[in-house]
Structure 1
């Protein structure tokens, strides 16, 4: 079949654009449609055609660079949540400044973008972090000669972080949701494994052998690859047995399907509200670390339990626990000795 479109061929019902020895580009199925004509014009111009109303960016623009980066192995190797967060930030940047020539982006330009977001320091710092990752990759690929974002500092903020559950809040939650409920099982899995929400929803019978729970945290699976190996505590085993899921995963939705990490986080926040506690899944992980540290866990033990790989992650908990013990033991030294007669 001879086509009127130059550089276009048809193979097994699929239309392809290829000019010379360039990359083959798949075209829409109907050669008489406006979408086909638009995709063909994009291919001729060397612009990536994107469906769904997304902007298309020519080579040399920031939008083009972002699109290439998000399709790279560097991004694909990130943990799913990290990958989605990075994509959300960079796609918003592409919408705002996608037609800017990325080769003209300087540290001053990135610093200006940071200051634009300064009212929300976390957003400003996430912007800087995303741009560092983007231009680090771009430098490795030869698109730029240096990383302009590397010279831009993040905004220093007092990190408040997630609220750490108190003993009273855990007690209140347990009183509202007794053993045998999905809600209680969710709390017990978080508290007695120290797992993040994205890992808790994946835990199941396949992770347990001879009373030992083993899993690889998804956040670091593609980087450190550290595996967490801990005993399945009796209290957690009882909670699992009292709330059978009928599925390989311990925790399932009302429809009997495993949770997605995001929906689990939303659901867990809702049941915390019902129990009258200001908790979150990550705050419970912090509570587990505090509890272990205050009961004498060492830095090495904390890193083994929580899958951490650096001392900085565990030292904060053990240092605070030591300070608490020392303070409790030394408080009596503040009292005044009775006067001698």
Structure 2
């Protein structure tokens, strides 16, 4: 951009908290732009793209369409976008003809109550995001989803696999089967499916697996060939036998990676086939945390392995730990080994 040339139609709004919102006015509508210098390539690209902006007709459906195309939506994590897109499309189908500026908290409450109790919090978050976007586009002045209510539910944790469950699964699925491969990788690494589907030898350095988690952005650190306590050796050996020698730890029989959803369903189905109807991939993550807790690992050490940065979250995952084992078990004799990781 030539020196001294100013882009036309730019509007900047600064909130009391100091956060800036930048817009371009196109055919009577304000289109969101990234808060970057006007000569930044990303800003210029967004400025040009705004020219093709289709003004909203004032309905919820058109607002949702604009939201999905916005920088706000695009900057969210890919896993979040996939889930949200499905929900947004369903909301648009059910309530899309309603004027965005006429929607009320009561309507949002009714919409939220239509989903399962466990999904209501996430549904409210999506409605709040829709109206926050509508506010940023000057389509309405308030956010009726802010005060929306969700039902009180007691969270049902994923069932933690017991040692007996693990033995049953291994007896049903021997080393060499894709079911056993997925199981051993998740059981050893304690990775969520969203991470287990993409981690592999490219993330291993000096005998340690280190990867950034998709869900939280935090780092998980897991011993692969580095020294571990004796009680972990058997599981580690089985992991090494089962994991693919190729780039990814988990592959299909055709040598391709598994999608996150497919991996989760694959493990649950394999567990059911082994007679373990209530066991899931996420339950394996809990099981690894329990093993470490029962052998004297501190919350900080467990968090390093599982990637949890909140001690409260670690406590949530390890509340199934056998308290007797933690007090009088043989972890005392292993304490020296426990301290070897993390080094």
- TM-score normalised by structure 2 residue count: 0.70
1:229 aligns with 221
Structure 1 residues 326 and 78, CA gap change in structure 2 (3 angstroms): same
Indicate if the aligned counterparts of 2:193 and 2:281 stay in contact, CA closer than 8 A: yes
Separation (CA, whole Å) in 2 of partners of 1:205 and 1:288: 21
Pairing partner for 1:198 from 183, 194, 197: 194
Shift, 1:305, TM fit: 1.8
Q: Residue by residue, what CA displacement relative to the aligned partner does 1:259-288 show, whole Å, maximum 9, x if unpaired? A: 111112222222212222122111111222
| Correspondences of 1:149-168 after superposition (within 5 Å) | 149-168=145-164
2:335 aligns with none
2:71 aligns with 73
2:170 aligns with 174
Alignment RMSD (CA, Å): 3.0
1:335 aligns with none
Indicate if the aligned counterparts of 2:179 and 2:266 stay in contact, CA closer than 8 A: no
Pairing partner for 1:207 from 194, 203, 207: 203
Separation (CA, whole Å) in 2 of partners of 1:103 and 1:229: 48
Separation (CA, whole Å) in 2 of partners of 1:185 and 1:61: 49
Indicate if the aligned counterparts of 2:209 and 2:221 stay in contact, CA closer than 8 A: yes
2:47 aligns with none
Structure 1 residues 246 and 212, CA gap change in structure 2 (3 angstroms): closer
Larger Rg: 1
Indicate if the aligned counterparts of 1:185 and 1:243 stay in contact, CA closer than 8 A: yes
Separation (CA, whole Å) in 1 of partners of 2:248 and 2:150: 40
Separation (CA, whole Å) in 1 of partners of 2:317 and 2:124: 28
Separation (CA, whole Å) in 1 of partners of 2:205 and 2:97: 54
Separation (CA, whole Å) in 2 of partners of 1:268 and 1:320: 21
Separation (CA, whole Å) in 1 of partners of 2:273 and 2:321: 31
Indicate if the aligned counterparts of 2:286 and 2:318 stay in contact, CA closer than 8 A: no
Structure 1 residues 229 and 309, CA gap change in structure 2 (3 angstroms): same
Shift, 1:71, TM fit: 2.2
1:256 aligns with 255
Structure 1 residues 127 and 300, CA gap change in structure 2 (3 angstroms): same
| Residue ranges of structure 2 left out of the alignment (5+ in a row) | 1-25, 31-52, 226-232, 329-343
Indicate if the aligned counterparts of 2:293 and 2:326 stay in contact, CA closer than 8 A: no
Q: Residue by residue, what CA displacement relative to the aligned partner does 1:236-274 show, whole Å, maximum 9, x if unpaired? A: 664455346463112111111111111122222222122
Query: Would you say how many aligned residue pairs link Structure 1 and Structure 2?
Result: 273
Q: Residue by residue, what CA displacement relative to the aligned partner does 1:207-260 show, whole Å, maximum 9, x if unpaired? A: 11110101111112xxxx322122115556644553464631121111111111
Structure 1 residues 208 and 235, CA gap change in structure 2 (3 angstroms): farther
Pairing partner for 1:111 from 101, 109, 120: 109
Pairing partner for 2:97 from 93, 96, 99: 99
Structure 1 residues 294 and 185, CA gap change in structure 2 (3 angstroms): same
| SS at 1:148 equivalent | coil
Shift, 1:193, TM fit: 0.8
Shift, 1:98, TM fit: 0.6
Structure 1 residues 212 and 78, CA gap change in structure 2 (3 angstroms): same
| SS at 1:259 equivalent | coil
Structure 1 residues 231 and 327, CA gap change in structure 2 (3 angstroms): closer
Shift, 1:185, TM fit: 2.3
1:293 aligns with 293
| SS at 1:230 equivalent | strand
- TM-score normalised by structure 1 residue count: 0.71
Pairing partner for 2:121 from 122, 125, 136: 125
1:61 has 2:59 as partner: yes
Structure 1 residues 141 and 305, CA gap change in structure 2 (3 angstroms): farther
Indicate if the aligned counterparts of 1:75 and 1:83 stay in contact, CA closer than 8 A: yes
